[in-house]
């Protein structure tokens, strides 16, 4: 489903990436796009704080209720995945040709949407969360494989430079 969503958005959304001739401009562009991927994480922190505040626990540092634990776990997992996603997007931006740089904001949007889907499905029941997690993890895995391919096959002479 992820390749179909990315391809459809790439073809039908009417925007193009700005002209980014050097690596530093591409990294700044990736950094600015990644800011939008933090929206579901910040929203999760807000909801987690509100649910902890409204929790009926008598001890603030005691055992957490399930509704509080769900949001805390979501935020923790999302932060870990965001770090991996961001570093892979930053490396990906250095290997993509100019005409494919439109993928960076599309992958950012896919990350944000898939984390929100994961959060909703995780709150419904733990057995439904695989769909949202796979929408986050499989593009991350594809980016990692492409980055390794780019480093070791396309440009092995520039591996560390």
CATH number at residue 41: 1.20.120
Does residue 127 lie within any of the structural domains?
yes
What is the tens place of the pLDDT at every residue in 114-127? Answer: 999 998 888 787 67
Q: What is the extent of the structural domain holding 87?
A: 23-159
What pLDDT is recorded for position 41? Answer: 94
- Radius of gyration for the alpha carbons in the chain, expressed in angstroms and rounded: 18
Percent of the chain with pLDDT over 70: 91
* Backbone angles phi and psi of 57, in degrees to 5: -70, 135
What is the tens place of the pLDDT at every residue in 3-61? Answer: 888 888 888 888 787 888 898 999 999 999 999 999 999 999 999 888 877 766 555 55
Tokens for 137, please give them.
């993890």
Does residue 52 lie within any of the structural domains?
yes
Instruction: Please say whether the beta carbons of 14 and 102 come within 8 A.
Output: no
What is the tens place of the pLDDT at every residue in 131-151? Answer: 888 888 999 999 999 999 988
**Count of domains in the chain?**
1
Does residue 126 lie within any of the structural domains?
yes
Does residue 16 lie within any of the structural domains?
no
Choose between 158 and 93: higher pLDDT.
93
d(CA 56, CA 68): 10
Does residue 14 lie within any of the structural domains?
no
What pLDDT is recorded for position 11? Answer: 83
- The pTM for the full model equals 0.85
Instruction: Please say whether the beta carbons of 132 and 122 come within 8 A.
Output: yes
């Amino acid at each position: 489903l992820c390749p179909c969503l990315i391809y459809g958005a790439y073809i039908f959304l009417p925007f193009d990436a700005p002209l980014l001739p050097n690596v530093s401009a591409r990294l700044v562009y990736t950094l600015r796009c990644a800011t939008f991927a933090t929206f579901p994480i910040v929203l999760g922190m807000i909801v987690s704080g509100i649910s902890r505040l409204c929790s009926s626990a008598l001890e603030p540092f005691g055992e957490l209720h399930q509704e509080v634990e769900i949001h805390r776990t979501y935020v923790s997992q999302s932060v870990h995945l965001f770090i991996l996603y961001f570093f892979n997007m930053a490396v990906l931006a250095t290997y993509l040709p100019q005409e494919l740089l439109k993928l960076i904001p599309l992958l950012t949007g896919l990350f944000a949407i898939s984390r929100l889907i994961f959060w909703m499905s995780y709150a419904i029941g733990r057995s439904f969360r695989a769909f949202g997690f796979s929408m986050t993890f499989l593009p991350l895995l594809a980016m990692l494989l492409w980055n390794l391919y780019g480093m070791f096959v396309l440009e092995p002479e520039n591996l560390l430079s």
